[in-house]
Amino acid sequence: MQTYKIAVIAGDGIGKEVVPAAIEVLDEVARLDGSFQFEWTYFPWGCDYYLEHGEMMPEDGLETLKQFDQIFLGAVGMPELVPDHISLWGLLIKIRRGLKQSINVRPAKLLAGLESPLKNPENFDITVVRENSEGEYSDSGGRMHSGADEIAIQNAVFTRKGTERAMHYAFELAKNSRQHVTSATKSNGLTYSMPFWDEVFNEVKENYPDIDTAVNHIDALAAFFVMKPQAFDVIVASNLFGDILTDLGGAIMGSIGIAPAANLNIEREYPSMFEPVHGSAPDIAGKGIANPIGQVWTGKMMLDFLGHQEAGARILNAIEQSLVAGVKTGDLGGASSLTEVKNSILQSL
Ligand SMILES: NC(=O)C1=CN([C@@H]2O[C@H](COP(=O)(O)OP(=O)(O)OC[C@H]3O[C@@H](n4cnc5c(N)ncnc54)[C@H](O)[C@@H]3O)[C@@H](O)[C@H]2O)C=CC1
Ligand SMILES: CC(=O)C(=O)O
Ligand SMILES: [K+]
Ligand SMILES: [Mn+2]
């Protein structure tokens, strides 16, 4: 029996609700499979921890996490009590960077039993590969002066290594998908980073003569997500563009509450971190009405990464079966609670 040691950081807000639900589903799928099990270790890190200790996680937090096979995280953020740039950079982004989780994979596909807010959508199945270690989210810049003279400078950092890595990963994914990669650019507005991004894309694609490519500016791409999402297979995007595009990906599926994500250390040197696209949703936290599907589907991505694709497929099937049965939380137009959705997925399993 294979045992996977998983570090659990439920985090803040609805993270505390959706993570335990997803763990129940993952334990059940492991029991049904019989060849593996999970050993969950819980860490109370997040904004509550910050308010008590003055830091989002202990100083040796990253070293602690390195001892685990993978990390399962909910969401971080309590914006009324802790500024977002402190909470996210003190935990979520610190882990992504510190454990070199340089690729963020975020699928968006039309699920059975779900009504997309798009009118008559064609079947779409997109995977966004988001560069996850640099780009627009870089701790480089500064603030100066005050009042009318106040200045804020935020630099974007694009390295050849990081850019090539994300693009190669996207092309490799496309090999096992529908052989198409779209690059999200904005080289008509950003005059250094995105022309560089375009050049690297043109170089990298030469290594993949069997893969078709397209290049779209991010503004047009956002519109195409609404008008013709079926046109896309794999999309490679910078950190900011990928972040925005994948909330939209969640929205066209039916809700940001179902969108899954995986922060991958593709070298498998350190643990990867599995956490859904959505945040801590303070507006609905503590009410038992959050949609657990994003977190559950994220668990499927963890199973896939661990090599249990069959068990992973079981989870997505159970999610779809439960949706077809009409068991939906409010964000999907239903009236079911988180617990009802979780129980329905368990039953479908
Ligand atoms: N990866 C992470 O941990 C992320 C953290 N955040 C943080 O989360 C906090 C809230 O950020 P927002 O911009 O409001 O984004 P959010 O994703 O938390 O919420 C946006 C909207 O979607 C709804 N929603 C999100 N997940 C849902 C679910 N599972 N079921 C039903 N409805 C759901 C929320 O109720 C809200 O109306 C902030 O502190 C932010 O910085 C935001 C995005 C990602
Ligand atoms: C922080 C955030 O919104 C994300 O990583 O998706
Ligand atoms: K999250
Ligand atoms: Mn986001």
Compute, in angstroms, the gap from residue 243 CA to the centroid of ligand 4.
5
Closest ligand to C-alpha of residue 97 is 2
Task: Say if ligand 1 is within 6 A of residue 331 CB.
Answer: yes
CATH number of the domain where residue 140 is located = 3.40.718.10
Residues 340, 229 within the same domain: no
Choose the final residue of a domain: 203, 226, 253: 253
Is 111 contained in some domain? no
Compute, in angstroms, the gap from residue 277 CA to the centroid of ligand 2.
7
Give the tens place of pLDDT for each residue, 41-51.
Answer: 999 999 999 99
Which pLDDT value is given to residue 12?
A: 98
Is 344 contained in some domain? yes
Give the tens place of pLDDT for each residue, 160-175.
Answer: 999 999 999 999 999 9
Atom number in ligand 2 closest to CA 261? 6
Which pLDDT value is given to residue 202?
A: 98
Residues 232, 261 within the same domain: no
Task: Say if ligand 1 is within 6 A of residue 61 CB.
Answer: no
Which pLDDT value is given to residue 32?
A: 98
Is 20 contained in some domain? yes
Residues 129, 240 within the same domain: yes
Compute, in angstroms, the gap from residue 176 CA to the centroid of ligand 4.
26
Residues 286, 207 within the same domain: no
Choose the final residue of a domain: 235, 253, 271: 253
Token pair, residue 293, equals: 């599907």
Instruction: Find the domain containing 66 and state its range.
Output: 1-106+256-349
Residues 154, 225 within the same domain: yes
Residues 212, 333 within the same domain: no
Compute, in angstroms, the gap from residue 96 CA to the centroid of ligand 2.
11
Residue 11 contacts residue 76 (beta carbons within 8 Å): yes
Residues 213, 318 within the same domain: no
Of 92, 96, 132, 134, the residue with max ligand 2 atoms within 8 A of its CB, to mutate for a pocket test, comes to: 92
Structurally, the chain folds into a number of domains equal to 2
Compute, in angstroms, the gap from residue 200 CA to the centroid of ligand 1.
33
Residues 338, 271 within the same domain: yes
Tracing tokens 């779409």 back to the chain, one arrives at 124
Residues 140, 88 within the same domain: no
Task: Say if ligand 1 is within 6 A of residue 17 CB.
Answer: no
Is 194 contained in some domain? yes
Choose the final residue of a domain: 253, 284, 316: 253
Residues 281, 242 within the same domain: no
Per-residue pLDDT of the chain in tens (349 residues, 90 and over written 9):
999 999 999 999 999 999 999 999 999 999 999 999 999 999 999 999 999 999 999 999 999 999 999 999 999 999 999 999 999 999 999 999 999 999 999 999 999 999 999 999 999 999 999 999 999 999 999 999 999 999 999 999 999 999 999 999 999 999 999 999 999 999 999 999 999 999 999 999 999 999 999 999 999 999 999 999 999 999 999 999 999 999 999 999 999 999 999 999 999 999 999 999 999 999 999 999 999 999 999 999 999 999 999 999 999 999 999 999 999 999 999 999 999 999 999 999 9
Which pairing describes strands 125-131 and 234-237: parallel, antiparallel, or unpaired?
A: parallel
Atom number in ligand 1 closest to CA 14? 29
Which pLDDT value is given to residue 27?
A: 98
pTM: 0.98
Residues 120, 219 within the same domain: yes
Model ipTM value: 0.99
Which pLDDT value is given to residue 193?
A: 98
Compute, in angstroms, the gap from residue 149 CA to the centroid of ligand 2.
31
Task: Say if ligand 2 is within 6 A of residue 236 CB.
Answer: no
Give the tens place of pLDDT for each residue, 202-239.
Answer: 999 999 999 999 999 999 999 999 999 999 999 999 99
Task: Say if ligand 1 is within 6 A of residue 96 CB.
Answer: no
Is 24 contained in some domain? yes
Residues 212, 315 within the same domain: no
